[in-house]
Structure 1
């Protein structure tokens, strides 16, 4: 396996109602960390950029930059950094041929169409969700099915090439998947919105947006155990303080050790 460099890039921040992101967790607990008059929480958009001699790809692509004034106002977007800008300055956007999306919500797919040679890899179930939107979930999908020009549907858990394995989890959305990347020297587990932040590591802690909460908890149990046992660096895509960490201890309430990437 040739060398593959792994970086965590930030595509800015946005705010979401704390009740949505903390779900069943009592306000008495989450209010200790939320200091906003509107009970909103500041969320990061951390994505994984992998590049080597023979391949370049992204895991998720952030919130992007093409949104309306109304969208900007609702989500209070702070574009302090931008994935495309970073890659234009320090890499080669044209070399990116794959964007593996955990799911297709607006804050994970914003730059997908900005990389002209990249194909979007997502679960077939997720492409169905974006094609046939319903009244409950449509506000979470900013793009239409036809907006995504280059689509590669995946059916279930599988390996993609030498470096990538996707694990279909469901839970957050019907087609949500967790992405494993093995660079040879580092093993990474990109948890998507199954575990969006270190706060959500406790087994019952889940967002109110999860469509199948029992599935979320079931898959968290499997994957947190795996991360502890096999030494995966876990990436928390919405955590503004700890984008990446190693997990230790009890899978139901693990401790974490921050990792720089």
Structure 2
């Protein structure tokens, strides 16, 4: 497992599973000859996308960013449609660190789409139960509202199976919230109305997790947004704001979906100046 130190904070990527989604959908109106040079696709025009949660450890707290694709949550048809070739193995990943799911104190959900939220619950016999029974689950109030009452477009990704069993654990916020020392969630909108980012500051260093505003390193161009984005112009404005801020701060960018990079820093000219690559 890859790790990154930010001041007093340790980040470890867990095994949350892998999907293969349509490259055209992931890059929206960007022509394939452009995006495929930066992020290759298979013969079905699908690109490999991880769903690997980030374990953030600071001041004795274990904070998870996202929850993975889950295990046993998808039908065979869904696995086929979403190109799922590997499901989550969070418990094994935590075990390698001497932890269990009971040791997770907080789960930060940047948004609640199925590929981020399926790992929140698991099957126990014939019923779904919380996968992290002691944790607070933090998401924006807007996201939580839509999760429970999705519209005609979003009901395909907001599933009751991912929230009904954890309803008593959810903590919501409006604009921003500090969940632990130096760890903050900030509402952005864009990908979904309630989408948020995670900002970590420790020891004079900064890390920004833009979640699905920046799903992969290949989405660096502020105009390269997904067809999955509900509010693409908001995504563009928020990317412009936060990528510029992060580069000024010489901050690390971290990824949940990228199959090549776990984290990187970009220079003022957009070049990668340092990176943590995923072991493949």
Tell me the TM-score normalized by structure 1. Answer: 0.90
In the aligned structure 1, how far is the partner of 2:251 from the partner of 2:13? 15
Q: How far apart are residue 185 of structure 1 and its match?
A: 6.5
Tell me the TM-score normalized by structure 2. Answer: 0.85
Q: How far apart are residue 192 of structure 1 and its match?
A: 0.4
Alignment correspondent of 2:68 = 62
In the aligned structure 1, how far is the partner of 2:14 from the partner of 2:205? 17
Within the alignment, does 1:135 sit opposite 2:152 as a pair?
A: yes
In the aligned structure 2, how far is the partner of 1:111 from the partner of 1:80? 10
2:236 corresponds, among 210, 217, 223, to: 217
Pairs within 5 Å for 1:1-261: 3-32=8-37, 33-67=39-73, 68-79=75-86, 82-92=89-99, 93-112=101-120, 113-144=130-161, 145-149=163-167, 150-184=169-203, 186-250=205-269, 254-256=270-272, 257-259=274-276
Q: Deviations over 1:98-124 (max 9, x none)?
A: 000110011112222311111210000
Q: How far apart are residue 212 of structure 1 and its match?
A: 0.9
Measured on the aligned residues, the alpha-carbon RMSD in Å equals 2.1
Kept in 2, the 8 Å contact 1:9–1:47? The answer is: yes
Which is further off, 62-71 or 194-203? 62-71
In the aligned structure 1, how far is the partner of 2:58 from the partner of 2:188? 28
Structure 1 unpaired stretches of 5+: none
Q: How far apart are residue 84 of structure 1 and its match?
A: 2.5
Alignment correspondent of 2:124 = none
Structure 2 unpaired stretches of 5+: 1-6, 121-129
TM superposition outliers: structure 1 runs of 4+ over 4 Å: none
In the aligned structure 2, how far is the partner of 1:172 from the partner of 1:94? 31
Q: How far apart are residue 131 of structure 1 and its match?
A: 0.9
**SS of equivalent residue, structure 1 residue 223:** helix
Q: How far apart are residue 211 of structure 1 and its match?
A: 0.9
In the aligned structure 2, how far is the partner of 1:66 from the partner of 1:183? 37
Q: Deviations over 1:146-169 (max 9, x none)?
A: 233311011112322312111111
**SS of equivalent residue, structure 1 residue 224:** helix
Which is further off, 97-106 or 176-185? 176-185
Which is further off, 193-202 or 137-146? 137-146
Kept in 2, the 8 Å contact 1:124–1:153? The answer is: yes
